[in-house]
Structure 1
Amino acid sequence: MARPGGRSRRPDPDGEHIAVERSEGIGFTLINYNKAVLHNGLGRFAEARNAAALATASPTESAFASWALSELVEAAVRCGDRTQAVQAVERLARTTTPSTTEWGLGTEARSRALISEGAEADELYREAIERLGHSRGTVALARAHLLHGEWLRMQERGGEAREQLTTAHEMFAAIGAEAFAERTRLELAACGVSVPQSAQQRTVELTEQERQIARRARDGRSNAEIGAELFLSARTIEWHLRKVFNKLGISSRRELRTALP
């Protein structure tokens, strides 16, 4: 689509270029902060690191840039760049320490734990959980449990790791933080705890045709009725439903009501 003056606008689904053109630095920062959170949740730490670095690059932005610093710490540590992580913690502390809020100090403790070792790291994770537990930062608290659980697993303290990770998974699942819930589920699996995928994650495995058939079956339509709507035979519908049941780990149409979101 051509812009006034004959220049074409390139696709900008995230709105980054628009924010830059309008000198809306805070918009650019917010976009990259959100990307950093998403990629950290998905375990894509290199992408999270890049996004967080962009979100914290401007010396004139402070609000979302401060939030992004904690994302940069986690991503940099996971990428093996301790120097970058330490620098980000130092910048973060300039705002969290003076704030004296439980959320700020808890976030700082969680970030310092990531760059610490041994008993100091353990103590900082516990401080983060304690402080964030007295704030409204539910997601931040759940992430503190996750990070502590990951650290405990690496220390071969399996029982304690399972406790922290189970708490984190329950919190993420309750608030619909699917990416972090899946990351936590995989950590629990590494601890020997089997947690089924959520309904939303399981349905991703269905093909589009299987989803159409499954939704109609869930809503009470017979195989013949579904076949008539989709121009398939009743026998073909039955074959597809068997595949759906196997993928979702269920055995009857009645269970589709809970297996499908």
Structure 2
Amino acid sequence: MKNLFYLILFLLYTIIPGWSANTEGNKALTFGKQQFNTGNYEKAKEFFASALNQDPNLVEAYEYRAKSASKIGKNSLDADISFYKSRLITMKEKNFSVHFGLACTYLEKMSFDSTSKQQAAKELLEVITKDPSGSFGTRAVELQKQYNIKTSKPEFSIIKIFKYYNSIIFYLIAGLIVFSIILLIFRALYPRNRLKSTFAAIIVAVLIYILATMTTLTGFGLRTSYGKSIRTGGSYTGGMGIHPGK
């Protein structure tokens, strides 16, 4: 009986915070709609940003946020585009919600720039590919039909694949060259024990790889991404991070 009591407490502890966040997110979404309908678009956008910070799965909030930004002006749309692009840098997995927000923003920007439709089509396709049966993917298909965006599968091209993975291929080849050099050195040092020389070469190569990775991240990789590209007016927390209100 005591174990059952602790189990119930544990379930409540894990479920209630998520339920509370969803409730707060829906409240912010409702307040945002009220402000939007009364023409207070800047305040509405702040509420929609708050809703997404509480619950990043509120599909409707992304659309209303883009609509609010469109009412405010082109600069507001451009700021949101910069924000979403910066999120794609730091959020590599399950980022279809970011692509969806970017697609909605591009769709609204069509009233200022007709070429934005191509960008919107690209982002919608990303959403459908990454979340085919989810709420984001379903809504993306509806938006394709609503804006008369033709679906197209990406063409297979060996050149495009090489361009996309060129940095990975470069580092892979460089790593193999470095490993081969290290292996030759250790085999020269231990000519009678190939197993020992191979093992030592692998250890040194791994250490060099770790050191190179840490140097890249702390030296210029993260600094460039966070310092220059990301402009949110706040720090990132958890999944979606901070949605700027303006």
Report if TM-score (shorter chain) is over 0.5.
no
Question: TM-score w.r.t. structure 2 length?
Answer: 0.37
Larger radius of gyration: 2
Question: TM-score w.r.t. structure 1 length?
Answer: 0.36
Which of the pair has the greater relative contact order for Cα pairs under 8 Å at 6+ separation? Answer: 2
